[in-house]
Amino acid sequence: MASATRFLLLQVRPEAVPREQEAASMRAATGLGDRLDTLRVDVDPLPSDVFDRYAGFLAGGSPFNVSDAEAGKSDAQRAAEERLTTIAAGALERDRPAFFTCYGIGLVTRLLGGTVDRTHPERVSAVEDRLTGAGVADPVAGVLPQRFRVLTGHKESAPEPPPGSVLLATNDVSPVQLYRVGEVLASQFHPEPTTTEFTARARAYQSYGYFPPEEFDEIAAAVHGAEVTLPRLLLTRFVERAELLAASR
């Protein structure tokens, strides 16, 4: 039986400072604190009993891209993709709660037979998303109002929901913002950071091609000026649901 008290954050950030900041943001946003373990899937193998240890899984972001040319992917990136896909496939097979964000949505999309490409890039910014009808009725996404602001900035995305998924949130720039398949959620946006934390992350990655480095001050000012607090509700509701499901097994 899965533990109802511990969750696992799967991380794919080779850089120490952004990785540590992401873990701190997730611990605060989920309310899990030290009940949230971390695992660097670009470096460390999955525990053989991973689905017995944890009530649910969270996957963070990465400077890697699913749509990178296969020949150019490092061994670490390939290992991360394999391990995250293993968790996604296992969660779907076992009906276990998992929440894949940012980089993770691309791997879930690919697993489901969908497309991940660079036709809908997003600026590093705070943008307005809106729930679909299915999102309003969803046991996790339904905690949000119909319109809410999110933090995002990506080179790639899914141009349409993958087969078998239900679209929960969208916007006019990158249409697949949040979807569900079984107990697996996948979001294009970052639900965990505050605007201050997100700005620090953008600074760490300002030379990674997400935006011209000379635009950082302008981007940081715009993000700081936005009110983005609601996406964290997704994470606390996800944890509540995962704990209820674990208790019923």
- For 129-158, the pLDDT digits (tens) are 999 999 999 999 999 999 999 999 999 999
pLDDT band for 2, please (50, 70, 90 cuts): very low
Structure token digits, residue 130: 């809106």
| Cα-based angle 155, 103, 230 (whole degrees, multiple of 5) | 95
Q: Is the pLDDT of residue 1 over 50?
A: no
Which pLDDT belongs to residue 249?
A: 83
Q: Which CATH number fits domain 7-248: 3.40.50.880, 3.30.70.100, 3.40.50.20, 2.40.30.10?
A: 3.40.50.880
| Interval 215-236 mean pLDDT | 96
Domain assignments of the chain as residue spans, ordered by start: 7-248
Mean pLDDT for the chain? 96
Residue type, 121: P
- Farthest-apart Cα atoms in the chain, separation: 53
What pLDDT is stored for residue 77 in this prediction? 96
Summarised one tens digit per residue, pLDDT across range 34-85 is: 999 999 999 999 999 999 999 999 999 999 999 999 999 999 999 999 999 9
Q: Is the pLDDT of residue 3 over 60?
A: no
Residue 137: closest CA among 162, 112, 166 = 166
Beta bridge partners of 46: none
Own/partner pairs, 73-79, CB within 8 angstroms, 24+ separation? 76/14, 76/42, 76/43, 77/42, 79/41, 79/42, 79/43
Burial string for 73-93 (b: 16+ CB within 10 Å, else e) reads beeebebbbebbeebbeebbe
- pTM for this entry: 0.96
Per-residue tokens: 211: 């935006």
- Percentage of the chain modeled with pLDDT above 70: 98
What pLDDT does 5 receive? Answer: 82
